[in-house]
Amino acid sequence: GWCTPESPGRSAPSSCHPFQTHRDSQDYQTHVVKMGKGDKKRGQSDLVTREYTIHLHKLLHGQTFKKRAPRAIREVKKFATKAMFTKDVRVDTKLNKALWATGVRNVPKRIRVRLSRKRNDDEEAEEKLYTLVEHVPVASFKELETKVVEDMGDDE
């Protein structure tokens, strides 16, 4: 069972686990929380630009035809939020046009996007950074991986 000393990773009631004291479990929990916070801060602090391929086909599987393109936009925003840790995500008009190019039903199976984390110039915004999602036209998606793009000098 999970009360045995062979599985120290699981938290057990203090009466059940003979080798784990209350102090040990408390240290473990604070350690995990610290790592989580620091991880997110480190991911957010710098301005960075990366290129990703989003596999829309699996994200839109089973979706009603008339809702596919709007859902694709939402999925791209969700992907950007997860990848860049910003709630404020802005979709470029060219990406919007690329997703809608073949109509509401026939969304491209994959799309290559450039995610740029930028500083928000608006002072009263609650988020200091936002993500701009742009379309990167490619001939083929074969052998493409996520890559970091060096700054082209177009932001500041």
In this prediction, residue 3 carries a pLDDT of 59
**Residue 44, token pair as written in the block:** 């957010």
- Classified as helix, coil or strand, 116 is strand
Mean pLDDT for the chain overall: 82
- What's the whole-number mean pLDDT along residues 55-68? 97
**Predicted model pTM:** 0.70
Q: Is the pLDDT of residue 2 over 70?
A: no
Q: What H or E segment, with its residue span, contains residue 28?
A: helix 22-45
The region of weakest confidence among 6-10, 77-81, 107-111 is 6-10
The DSSP bridge pattern shows strands 147-149 and 110-119 to be unpaired
Q: What one-character-per-residue DSSP string does 44-71 give?
A: HHS--EEEEEEEHHHHSTT--GGGHHHH
- What's the whole-number mean pLDDT along residues 38-62? 81
In this prediction, residue 13 carries a pLDDT of 55
Q: Is the pLDDT of residue 42 over 60?
A: no
In this prediction, residue 22 carries a pLDDT of 55
∠ CA(106), CA(110), CA(112), 5° rounding?
Answer: 125
In this prediction, residue 100 carries a pLDDT of 98
